[in-house]
Amino acid sequence: MQKIEAVIQPSKLDAVKDALVEVGIDGMTIMEARGHGRQKGHTEVYRGREYEVDLLPKVKLEIVVTDEMVDKTVNAIITAARTGTIGDGKIFISKIDEAIRIRNDERGEIAL
């Protein structure tokens, strides 16, 4: 089992969700996040004072899938989220030791 963490532009959330549903992903966790990579922030001005805002709004998805599903899932995300400009985001993949369904204590891949 592997966890796929994807930080994407908020405007791409709907497209990514639809793409994931299409490849058969049932569950995901979606968070509002702030951050930046090489994308610089912007300047805001309040009563003549300038503020550098470099914590930009982002959306982060966490999806845990079976090893076989990883490539399909990642490709779905990339296709839906890519615009080609700086700020598109990043995907990180890590190994998951265990998954448990709280309702009935199912463990392992059936819990996904």
Residue type for 15, please? A
Token pair for 83: 């615009």
Residue 47 is a binding residue for other proteins (CB under 8 A) = yes
Which one of 46, 85, 103, 105 is in contact with other proteins (CB under 8 A)?
46
Of 74, 69, 109, the closest CA to residue 92 belongs to 74
- What are the backbone angles phi and psi of residue 74, rounded to the nearest 5°? -60, -45
Residue 32 is a binding residue for other proteins (CB under 8 A) = no
Strand order of the β-sheet with 56-65 is: 29-35, 56-65, 2-8, 89-95
Residue span binding other proteins (CB under 8 A) among the ranges 34-42, 45-53, 65-73, 91-99: 45-53
Site string for other proteins, 52-71 (x = CB under 8 A): x-------------------
- What's the rounded Cα separation, in Å, for the pair 64 and 77? 14
**Smallest distance from the beta carbon of 103 to other proteins, in angstroms?**
24
**Smallest distance from the beta carbon of 32 to other proteins, in angstroms?**
11
List interacting residues with other proteins (CB under 8 A). 44-49, 51-52
